[in-house]
Structure 1
Amino acid sequence: MAGMSAKGPYVHSSKEAEVMACQKAIEFSMEAGFARLIIEGDSLNVINNLSDSAKNRSLLGHIYDDIKSQLRGMHVLSFIWVKRCGNVVAHSLAKHARNLNDNMYWIKDTPPPAADALYHDSLHINE
């Protein structure tokens, strides 16, 4: 439905990068008018923390709380952990973002930097 490549602030860990990327994607999806989300990620810890209704007391707890607050208006919501081999599109868009000065968005169009990765992900969709 949509894709984006966006730079974020400096982060201290891959977990922080994953949760902040998720937050940015949710903000984008809400601005684009999507009411139904399926959130996939290859960090099991991040997916578990997002799907847990308990307050998160980790160093990243405030980000998890912000995300959960943003998601309160969504009609359908699923958090799904996927193997890294099934998340190639997200990684190709993140890699593309390293060379950007401004965020890039695609709606109802295949992001050119992820065309090959989209095909690769489709091969692993049922794993």
Structure 2
Amino acid sequence: MASSSQKIEASFSPQIAEAMTILRGLQLALDTGLSPCRIDSDAEVIVNWINIGVVIFSKVGSVIDDIRLLLDQVLCVSFNFVPRTANQVAHMLAKNGLACDENLFWLEEFPSCVGSLVLTECRTCL
């Protein structure tokens, strides 16, 4: 398990920001030696573009191309749309990232801001 909150020093469209978040998550997985078997995102359009595999001639398309290159390096079984209401941990990490002044990383632990949510989600998975 790994997570991060990272500050981005630029302003992007919501689609580019969502795609960059996925890209950074994949980079974190590779950097930590993790191999995700499932990747979930609440950015339905981005998930669809990644899964369909069409070339998109735009700024977000170049980020999606980078995601696809990284997906070739991990043993990812599936890439799925999951509504934000079904993944409160990711939503809280994103909110935490908006308020952070530095890049923060957690490996084999989770930040206190999502502690109760992680424990709740773990109980429902059993």
Q: TM-score, normalised by structure 1?
A: 0.84
Q: Distance in 2 between the 1:42 and 1:102 partners?
A: 24
Rounded Cα–Cα distance in structure 1 between residues aligned with 2:45 and 2:69: 19
In the alignment, which residue of structure 1 is the partner of 2:97? Answer: 97
CA displacement 1:37-96 (0-9 Å, x = unmatched): 421111210111111222222441000001111221112331111111012111211111
Q: Which residue of 2 aligns with 1:88?
A: 88
Alpha-carbon distance in structure 1 between the residues aligned to 2:115 and 2:123: 13
CA–CA distance in structure 1, aligned partners of residues 95 and 84 of structure 2: 14
Superposition pairs of residues 1-127 of structure 1, within 5 angstroms: 1-119=1-119, 121=121
Alpha-carbon offset, residue 123 of structure 1: 7.6
Distance 1:21 1:41, change over 3 A: same
Letter in 2 for 1:55: V
RMSD of Structure 2 on Structure 1 (CA): 2.1
Verify the 8 A CA contact 2:16 2:63 in the aligned structure 1.
Answer: no
| CA distance in structure 2 between the aligned counterparts of 1:85 and 1:121, rounded to whole angstroms | 12
1:124–1:22 Cα change, 3 Å:
farther
5+ long unaligned stretches in structure 2: none
Paired residues, number: 125
- CA–CA separation in structure 1 for the residues paired with 2:49 and 2:9: 21
Distance 1:65 1:42 in 2: 19
> Which structure shows the higher helix fraction?
2
Identity of aligned residues (%): 26
Give the Å deviation of 1:19: 0.8
